[in-house]
Each structure stands twice: as C-alpha cells, then as structure tokens.
C-alpha cells in the first residue's frame, strides 16, 4: 500500500512540475525531465513511506491491536505433551528414513497427529529444478516429539498443488490466483493426516489499511489457513475464527509464527517512539535462545489443552532476565501476558549456562 501511494503521489508531483516548466522547454526535453523527476521523486517517497509505514504499523499494533489479559502465574505445559525431542534430532531421524529418490524434506514444523499427540512434520518436496516439471510433492514424514526414540512415520501421497512444484502445480501459485492480497507464509506450510488423506495447510496473514497517521499504511492480522485437499486438489480458506470448528484443522496451529513475534516486538512502541528509541523504559525485547534453529515463538500445549505460541521477553539492553511472557492462542489469536516479579525469572542464557555447569547434566 505504501508503494502504491508513493507511485500515485510521485506521478502527481511529476505531472505538476513538468506542466509548470513546459512553456520553457521542448516536448522532448520535457519528456526526459519528467522521467528523471518521476524516478527521483518515486524513489524518495517509496523509501520514506516504507520506513514510516513500518514504524507506524508497529505503533498502531502496540496501542490498538495488542489486547491481552494479564495472568498472575506462568502457564504450565501439559504433562503428557512435553517437547522431549529437539527439532535438530527430529530432522536427523526424518532424513535417515527418507527413501524417495528426487525428493528432499522441507523445514520441520509441529502438528497434531490424529491420536492427539504432537509431532515434527516434514513435507516431502522436490529436489532439483528439472524435477519440479515432472513430479510432485510426495507426501509427508512425521516424528513423534514426545519421546526420544526414533518413532517415524512416512505417508506417501501425491499432493497437487504442492510445495515446490512448478507454476500451476505449485500451491503458492494457485493460492495467489485465488486470493492475491494476503501474505502466505511459505516457510510455515505443514501437512495434516486425517481420514487416510493428506491435507496441506498454509497459514496466511491479512493486511488491513489504517488511518492513524496522515499517510497510508497497513497492519498485519492473523487470517487463517489455506487448506489443500491432497486427494482432490481443492483449496479451502479457513478463517482463524472458524478453525476450532473445522473437521480437519480443529486442533492445528492457524496463527503464523511471524505475526506472533511481530506483535510482541511491536510492544516496544507502547510508550511512544522516543521512548522506544532512546529511553527504553518498559521496553520488552524478544529473548535470544541458545541453539541453532531454536528461535521464538515456541508452540506448546498448555495444561488447559490450548495450543499456544509462547514468547519470552527480556528488558531492552544488556539485561537477560525474563520479565514478561506472552501467550497467544495458536488457533484463535487471543493474547495473555504474565509479568514476572523483579529477579524472579532467569533468562535463557543464564539458564543454559546453569544447566551446562550442573554436575547432573555435565556428563
């Protein structure tokens, strides 16, 4: 939206400027001057609006859209769904069981199996450009994440349109044809196995126009899931408010990881842009997590059986103690926040080093 507004405004400024000078110049020189002026004005306006629009979007999210309930205690994860298997180990287990020539595994994601257990799930996608023309996504691999043993299941089924296929057989190409104006999260697509059929789910984010500032910008909002029936290829859009009532994805994540982190990161603008940039009073910062590929938010199931996206935040600056924890319902988008007492929670880095130095773990 910001670029479109810059384009229209640059055209108007250029037209007026050339009209003003047209009496003193030839038509050829006016045309050259117009092109040069348009290029310069459009470039300046586009960059300015993109920068200002990004800041305006986060200010608006923090002050108008980040609505959460304060909770007195930190939420506990469900005892029967503890995440025991790290993602990197799950990656290795899945890769070691892959026996499909001309295929590879996508990035893993967490899904809920038909029996209610949580698993790392991987799309079996195409390897190599030439294969994108000839063959299709071949199914999915799931690895049980609630145990440390290699409990791996491979489900073979062509999914068309699928991940990594070429043009008309590519799921993102088809989704763009259906609805161009939403943001499909390509790195977050996952496969759900229900009723002996595979369904490819792609979370999407909607961008809504805002009028808080005297220039156009948008704010991101959780949209829902685009769902591809692996057997028929039919595409269905499931809005976030309808996910819990849907037969196939009623227990799956519908909120994008990106939007969860974006909303928490936007909280730094809660007390204004000057405070966010200079004074940093009450400014949270998404905590860094040790380990490769271990970024927040984390998807967990809490004691109340809700699928939840968790983000732990530190005070901005050098402080590393966790002082705010944000919880977003991964299906409805609803928020909750717990604020820790001063000195009450260790940060990720401190906890990691304590575990490494503990006699019971240093072996």
Q: Give the pLDDT confidence score for residue 360 in this predicted structure.
A: 42
Please, are residues 273 and 333 in contact by the beta-carbon 8 Å criterion? no
Q: Give the pLDDT confidence score for residue 30 in this predicted structure.
A: 66
Position of tokens 């909120």?
Answer: 255
Confidence of residue 12 (pLDDT cuts 50, 70, 90): confident
Rounded CA Rg of the chain: 24
C-alpha 279/C-alpha 59 separation (Å) is 16
Report the phi/psi class of residue 191: left, alpha or beta, with left for phi > 0 and alpha for psi in -120 to 50.
beta
226-260: pLDDT as tens digits: 999 999 999 999 999 999 999 999 999 999 999 99
Taking each continuous run of H as one helix and of E as one strand, the counts in the chain are 8, 16
- Residues of the chain with pLDDT > 90, as a percent, come to 67
Q: Give the pLDDT confidence score for residue 340 in this predicted structure.
A: 87
C-alpha 363/C-alpha 357 separation (Å) is 10
């Amino acid at each position: 939206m910001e670029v479109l507004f810059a384009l229209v405004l640059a055209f108007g400024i250029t037209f007026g400027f050339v009209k003003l000078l047209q009496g003193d110049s030839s038509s050829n020189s006016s045309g050259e001057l117009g092109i040069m002026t348009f290029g310069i004005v459009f470039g300046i306006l586009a960059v300015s609006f993109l920068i200002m629009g990004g800041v305006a979007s986060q200010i608006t999210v923090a002050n108008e859209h980040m609505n959460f309930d304060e909770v007195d205690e930190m939420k506990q994860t469900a005892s029967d769904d503890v995440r025991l298997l790290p993602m990197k180990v799950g990656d290795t287990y899945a890769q070691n069981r892959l026996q499909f020539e001309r295929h590879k595994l996508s990035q893993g994601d967490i899904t809920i199996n038909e029996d209610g257990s949580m698993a790392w799930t991987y799309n079996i996608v195409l390897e190599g450009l030439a294969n994108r023309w000839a063959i299709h996504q071949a199914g999915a691999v799931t690895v049980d994440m609630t145990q440390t043993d290699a409990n791996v299941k491979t489900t073979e089924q062509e999914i068309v349109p699928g991940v990594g296929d070429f043009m008309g057989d590519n799921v993102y190409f088809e989704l763009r044809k259906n609805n161009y104006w939403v943001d499909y999260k390509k790195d977050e697509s996952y496969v759900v196995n229900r009723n002996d059929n595979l369904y490819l789910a792609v979370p999407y984010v909607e961008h809504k126009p805002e009028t808080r500032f005297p220039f156009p910008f948008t704010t991101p909002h959780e949209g829902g899931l685009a769902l591809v029936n692996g057997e028929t290829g039919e595409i269905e859009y499931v809005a976030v408010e309808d996910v819990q009532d849907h037969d196939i994805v009623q227990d799956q994540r519908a909120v994008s990881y990106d939007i969860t982190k974006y909303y928490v990161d936007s909280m730094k603008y809660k007390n204004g842009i000057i405070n966010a940039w200079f004074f940093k009073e009450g400014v949270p910062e998404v905590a860094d997590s040790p380990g490769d590929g271990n970024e927040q938010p984390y998807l967990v199931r809490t004691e109340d059986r809700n699928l939840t996206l968790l983000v732990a935040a530190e005070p901005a600056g050098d402080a590393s103690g966790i002082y705010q924890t944000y919880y977003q319902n991964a299906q409805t988008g609803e928020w909750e926040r717990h604020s820790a007492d001063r000195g009450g929670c260790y940060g990720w880095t401190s906890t990691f080093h304590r575990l490494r130095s503990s006699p019971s773990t240093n072996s």
